Structure 1
Amino acid sequence: MLLNVQGKQAYCYTGGKAFDPALPVIVLVHGAQNDHSVWGLQSRYLAHHGHAVLIPDLPGHGRSAGPALGSVEELADWLLALLDAAGVQRAVLGGHSMGSLIALEAVHRAPQRALGLALLGTTYPMKVSDALLETSRSNEEAAIDMVNIFSHSSIAHKPSSPGPGFSVMGGARRLMQRMSARNPDQLFHTDFAACNSYANGEAAAGGVACPTLFILGSKDMMTPPRSAKLLTGAIKHGKIVTVDAGHSLMTEAPDAVLDALSAFARSAVSTLAT
């Protein structure tokens, strides 16, 4: 689905179903150097089981027009403008990694829009090492390889990983390379710099009143579960689900992530109904 957001074209995947804003809406935001496809294994199920699903490509990513936005605050404003463009008043907002900060800041800015908040592979502060930040600026291909290794718990995933012959690491690497090819204007560095400079996470978390879910990977080297303690401590009513995966938990543990997201979305909607 194509929308006009802040005067530019924005693409949203809707899970293989026509988008109906009258249904309970769930919005899932991807992380750095990614696009909507990282949610493919969860979004289709949700769209075919009672939810209206919006999975946007952030500006400058995938099929959405650029330029990429340089701060979490700008991206949160863009996300709220996307809801307006789609005719969505309230939704469950979720995000992975950089996307989790965007969803958190959007809830902070417009709490009345959130039925619930799902934070996957999250941490705050989301600091990026100086070496990786510089590599993302000067040698994006090397940064892609570094992050791809750090984001996965194994180079040889079990045969039960999605799709016969499907390479979890290979698919993630090709996706990031494709983002570079589509937007060669230092996209990875722009994303990492936005994560690194975001300074409102503690204040935003302290004001979250809606139901909240944390999904954390037990083997996550990019955002280890222990590093989320500031957020989980600030959102004391949040539920924590830990899955057996690294940072790329939506592909490494797709069923466990889906089970947690689906149950949370149903609960958030039922809470509203009562």
Structure 2
Amino acid sequence: MPYADRHTQVAGRAVAYVDAGPREAPPLVLLHGAGFDQAELTWRLTASAMRESHRVIVPDLPGYGDSASLGGRPDLARLADWVVRFLDAVGVARADLGGVSMGGGMALWVAIHAPERVRRLVAVCPYGVMSRAPHHRLAWAALRAGALPLAYRIAAASPRAARLGLGLSYGDPHRVSRKAVEELRVTARQQVQRRSFDAFLASEMTSARLKSDLTPELHRIGAPTLLVAGRYDRLVPAVHVKRARERIPDCRYLALPTGHWPMRERPEMFQQALSRFLAG
């Protein structure tokens, strides 16, 4: 049975998701990242740890896992609006909302533009807190040259290459597990065909900047917020997350000794911080 074993529709398109834990418990909605990702890969360990205290809802985002894509070029605002529609579809009026990377940016956007839907906010190594990517011009050139489809094919074909690529998202590559490598290879095979991250970057990245820099709007977030950075994150350097903290009125900041994927690299540490914050 696939991990995301519940199904609904958002705007007429299929969505697969996990819904675990007591239905009367506070809802916790968790959003994964882009690229080599899906609900199980990022959130399986967290969902298992939190299901006793929360109703944990984890969707495969559009174009990932078993969820249909949005079509066209889905930018951050369009994906975040999808989150609001997904909450409607699963009957959740207000939730604790968490996300990592692209999912973290989506969570920030919802907290800014639909504040009534967010009780508490957890953004982990989030997209949307910087105007340029690290080595921006090089990343732009690689995108234009078709580096992503090549990376998908190589990771799908080679466990060693998949481990090496996954290690770039970790602070300590020795923490990459065999299971994580195999899960990433499955996702890579899907993305060879689906190219969901390519579509996102095509809508969000120009040669000069990233389209969705939410920094000027962060002061509008009213929900109690936890910003989590990876001290060794190469994709969203911790300095950007720490600066974002200064703009959010009710915000805690935590830097973990990890790369871009704290909930997989140091799951116990991340889960402890998440539980403490959600308990208030």
> Do Structure 1 and Structure 2 share a fold, with TM-score over 0.5?
yes
Specify the alignment match of 1:29 in structure 2. Answer: 31
Q: Partners in 1 of 2:26 and 2:204 — Cα distance?
A: 29
Q: Over the residues paired in the alignment, what is the CA RMSD in angstroms?
A: 2.4
Structure 2 residue 195 is matched with structure 1 residue 192: no
Amino acid at match of 2:147: N
Structure 2 residue 137 is matched with structure 1 residue 130: yes
Q: Partners in 2 of 1:195 and 1:149 — Cα distance?
A: 25
Amino acid at match of 1:135: A
Q: Partners in 2 of 1:204 and 1:147 — Cα distance?
A: 33
Specify the alignment match of 2:263 in structure 1. Answer: 250
- Residue by residue over 1:47-73, the C-alpha shift from the partner in whole angstroms, topping out at 9 and shown as x without a partner, is 1x1211111111111110124551110
| Partner of residue 155 from structure 1, selected from 145, 167, 173 | 173
Relative distance call for 1:99 and 1:116 in structure 2 (3 A) is same
Structure 2 residue 126 is matched with structure 1 residue 113: no
- Residue by residue over 1:142-180, the C-alpha shift from the partner in whole angstroms, topping out at 9 and shown as x without a partner, is 4456863431223322xxx7xxxx337624642541331
Specify the alignment match of 1:14 in structure 2. Answer: 19
Q: TM-score, normalised by structure 1?
A: 0.83
Structure 2 residue 71 is matched with structure 1 residue 90: no
Structure 2 residue 147 is matched with structure 1 residue 139: yes
Q: Partners in 1 of 2:131 and 2:179 — Cα distance?
A: 24
* Stretch moving more, 206-215 or 142-151: 142-151
Q: Partners in 2 of 1:107 and 1:244 — Cα distance?
A: 27
User: Alignment partner of 2:279: what SS?
Assistant: helix
Relative distance call for 1:192 and 1:149 in structure 2 (3 A) is farther
Q: How does 1:195-206 map to 2 (within 5 A)?
A: 195-196=204-205, 197-206=210-219
Q: Partners in 2 of 1:114 and 1:260 — Cα distance?
A: 19
Specify the alignment match of 2:157 in structure 1. Answer: none
Given that 1:150 and 1:222 are in contact with CA atoms closer than 8 Å, whether structure 2 keeps it comes out as no
Q: TM-score, normalised by structure 2?
A: 0.82
| Partner of residue 222 from structure 1, selected from 235, 246, 252 | 235
* Stretch moving more, 249-258 or 145-154: 145-154
Specify the alignment match of 2:67 in structure 1. Answer: 64
- Residue by residue over 1:68-119, the C-alpha shift from the partner in whole angstroms, topping out at 9 and shown as x without a partner, is 5511100111000000001101001111011111011111111011101101
User: Alignment partner of 1:14: what SS?
Assistant: strand
Q: Partners in 2 of 1:63 and 1:39 — Cα distance?
A: 15
Amino acid at match of 2:125: G
User: Alignment partner of 1:156: what SS?
Assistant: helix
Given that 1:12 and 1:54 are in contact with CA atoms closer than 8 Å, whether structure 2 keeps it comes out as yes
